[in-house]
Homo-oligomer: A and B are copies of this chain.
Amino acid sequence: MLDAVQSNARMHEAVELGSERTSLQARKHEFVRDAIWVAAIDLFAEKGFEETTVDQIVEAAGTSRRTFFRHFESKRDLMAQPVMTFVASLTNAIESCPLESTPAELFHHVVVEVAQRTVADARMRKVMEIAAKYPAAREAQVSRAAELQDRLAEAFAKRCDNRITAYALSRLTLSALSLTYRVWYSEGKQDVMSAVQHVLAEFSAVLCNSGPRKRSA
């Protein structure tokens, strides 16, 4: 056995600055990852989520099973990954909101912004299509909901002095958006903004005792 291999010193750790790693290796890596994802989504759409095995995915993508699990944590991740990139969209929207905004304004701004951006995303639409068709795929999609929740709350916390407010914003934003997509989808994928307005109106009606009220605690 070659003992020298494992006892070699790692002196070259100087690559820790914020390098843009546009190297050829890195781009090949992204290329393979993308090929896997596209092949998988096509198979999911064609035969279903549970019915598609990892072996079939990697065979269609022209790679190996072991490589698959270096790019994705699990088969579920193929569905959850677009939702995760979604966090970037959310964070972006939060930061693009004026600093002096109230939580209510922040909420409204983020929902409107992200709803429009997401609907324009072809990958997200594909994933939503599959999730609407196969329950197991839908479950896989929300498998990281908790993590998404936490990360979003973290982003909101930078704009709130109150921690609970950040959590409330996080949950309300995700609830509003997920219902918006459902409404938009079921209403023939027409105008997103009308779906947003519809959902926000419903939310307000539930939480603000408008209309015939009887008693308030």
Interface residues of A (CB under 8 A from B): 100-105, 107-108, 135, 138-139, 142-147, 160-162, 164-165, 167-169, 171-172, 175, 178-179, 182-183, 198-200, 202-217
**Contact between chains at A198 and B143 (CB < 8 Å):** no
A129 to chain B, nearest CB (A): 16
Chain B residue numbers with a CB within 8 Å of A139 are: 143-144, 146
Q: Which of B101, B164, B175, B211 contacts A171 (CB 8 A)?
A: B175
**Contact between chains at A164 and B103 (CB < 8 Å):** no
A206 to chain B, nearest CB (A): 5
Bound CA–CA A103/B214 (angstroms) = 9
Q: 4 nearest interchain CB pairs? A: A104-B209, A168-B202, A208-B208, A171-B175
Bound CA–CA A213/B103 (angstroms) = 10
A-B contact pairs, 19 of them (CB 8 A): A102-B215, A103-B206, A103-B209, A104-B210, A105-B209, A105-B212, A105-B213, A135-B147, A138-B146, A139-B146, A142-B145, A161-B216, A162-B202, A162-B216, A165-B202, A168-B206, A172-B206, A204-B208, A207-B208
Bound CA–CA A169/B204 (angstroms) = 11
Bound CA–CA A142/B171 (angstroms) = 14
Chain B residue numbers with a CB within 8 Å of A175 are: 171-172, 175
Q: How many copies does the complex hold?
A: 2
A170 to chain B, nearest CB (A): 9
**Contact between chains at A168 and B203 (CB < 8 Å):** yes
Other 4 A-B pairs with CB < 8 A, given A104-B205, A105-B212: A103-B209, A160-B216, A162-B217, A168-B203
A133 to chain B, nearest CB (A): 13
A141 to chain B, nearest CB (A): 9
Most buried by B among A103, A147, A199: A103
